[in-house]
Amino acid sequence: MRELRFDPLRNRWVIVSPERARRPSDYLIEKRSQPAREAVACPFCRGHEARTPPEIYAIRDENSAPNTPGWRIRVVPNKFPALRIEDEAIRFGVGIFDVVSGAGAHEVIIETPEHHLTLADLPVEWIKDVLMTYRERIRDLHRDERLRYVLVFKNHHLAAGASLTHTHSQLIATPLVPPTIKEELRVCRQHYQSKERCLICDLIRQERRLAERIIYEDENFLVWAPFASSFPFEMWLLPEEHRHDFSSLSDAHLMAVARVLKITLLGLKELLDDPPYNLVLHTAPPPFKRPGHTDYWSSIAYDYHWHFEIIPRLTRIAGFEWGAGLFINPTPPEAAAEYLRQKVQHQTVADAPADMPSGKAG
Ligand SMILES: [Zn+2]
Ligand SMILES: [Zn+2]
Ligand SMILES: [Zn+2]
């Protein structure tokens, strides 16, 4: 039984998903033996398709059958899902507490059949296909009225939360808008209501002028070390073109995103020796109207602006951060930007190497 429970004191929801680890010993095993266990048989490698649940989506060679080799990118349900699509989204109360039963989706996007590559190593065209896969899965899940958000994210390395080292992203679709997104949406809407401008567009204009925290810029993108970065070397990839919805991007647009994402990740890899990091995609929720919230997203196309956030995991969230909800960042973003700028700006990437295998989406 999976469900979301509301903490009235903290004013936030928690996903309780008992399938993932039930007994105290499960945690001990996970801590000790994960890398060793994986060396035996990685379920994400080519030829091991039967070790994952059946694929939901794949980019694969014309004549290859689902769940067999011949794929380049493969999406499968998470074997230990935090939330499941089969469950219903029922809202109920338990005394003063609020619960939503756990309808949702938890999918794994396997970015390549090769075990030893990282996302940054993949050709730009291939990264474009990974982004296209994000887009297609978001579009598909946005058709399900029970779901209120689809969060795409990536945990790179065990220290960033990856349980398998084979490069992959994940998505979790939830029956409510997650608090971090909700707060961003609220702040952006408020800014728009008082100024009739997009907060992120404003931010891009100002930071281009100041140039202190810019890691990379061209006419289409800004890679930025946020003024109030919570983590050392935190980076946001901000598209110049105002769009609220990542799933509305064209293939050509995704190609441009792939190029800047690749050089950003290569720069990070070079500067900090392939550090663990989290990548998250912040985009608009599905556009359904809710009873009682008829104008809830009415200005979203004007007030919200999709972006990627990249958090290198170099410090631990410790007692103070946990107890206070305040982060201590030992590296000023201006200094981080300068270090990163030197590494990111000299990366050169080819768009489509000759050995790119062709593939079709299906
Ligand atoms: Zn593998
Ligand atoms: Zn904007
Ligand atoms: Zn964000």
Give the pLDDT confidence of 174-229 residue by residue, as tens digits. 999 999 999 999 999 999 999 999 999 999 999 999 999 999 999 999 999 999 99
Which of 166, 168, 191, 253 is an active site residue? 168
- One-character DSSP codes across 65-107: PTTSS-EEEEEEE-SS-SSBTTS---EEEETTEEEEE-B-EEE
Q: What is the pLDDT of residue 362?
A: 46
Active-site residue 242, yes or no? no
Ligand 1 center to residue 291 CA distance, Å?
45
pLDDT in tens, 14-24: 888 876 666 77
pTM: 0.91
Q: What is the pLDDT of residue 168?
A: 97
Q: What is the pLDDT of residue 40?
A: 62
Ligand 2 center to residue 173 CA distance, Å?
24
Q: What is the pLDDT of residue 28?
A: 66
User: Total domain count for the chain?
Assistant: 1
Q: Which ranges of the chain have pLDDT less than 50?
A: 33, 36, 354-360, 362
Show the domain range for 286.
3-361
Q: What is the pLDDT of residue 24?
A: 72
Q: Which-ligand-closest: CA of 307?
A: 3
Phi, psi (degrees; rounded to nearest 5) at 13? -95, 155
Q: Which-ligand-closest: CA of 199?
A: 2
Residues in the 5 Å CB sphere of ion ligand 1? 42, 44-45, 115, 166
Q: What is the pLDDT of residue 359?
A: 45
**What's the CATH code of the domain at 225?**
3.30.428.10
Phi, psi (degrees; rounded to nearest 5) at 261? -65, -40
Rg (Cα) of the chain, in Å, rounded? Answer: 21
How many residues are present in the chain?
362
Q: What is the pLDDT of residue 294?
A: 62
Ligand 2 center to residue 299 CA distance, Å?
12
Q: What is the pLDDT of residue 73?
A: 98
Residues 6+ apart with CB under 8 A from 209: none
